[in-house]
């Protein structure tokens, strides 16, 4: 019984760490996506709508 409780506690700690990592990676994904959108928007603007 003690072994199961100890294993479950360790699994809960690992799951908590994985949830934190997942949240951080999702935040990084949104930030990188936002700047990529700005970059490609600027490139399209400069390619097609720039007044020479």
Task: Flag whether pLDDT at 2 surpasses 70.
Answer: no
pTM exceeds 0.75 for this model: no
Query: CA-CA distances (angstroms) from residue 16 to 4, 10, 12, 13, 23?
Result: 18, 10, 6, 5, 11
pLDDT tens track for 24-43: 999 999 999 999 999 999 99
Q: What are phi and psi of 20, to 5 degrees?
A: -65, -45
pLDDT digits (tens, 9 = 90+) for 12-23: 999 999 999 999
């Amino acid at each position: 019984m003690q072994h199961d409780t100890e294993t479950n506690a360790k699994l809960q700690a690992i799951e908590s760490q994985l949830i934190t990592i997942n949240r951080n990676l999702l935040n990084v994904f949104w930030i990188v996506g936002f700047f990529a959108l700005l970059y490609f928007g600027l490139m399209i603007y400069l390619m097609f709508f720039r007044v020479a």
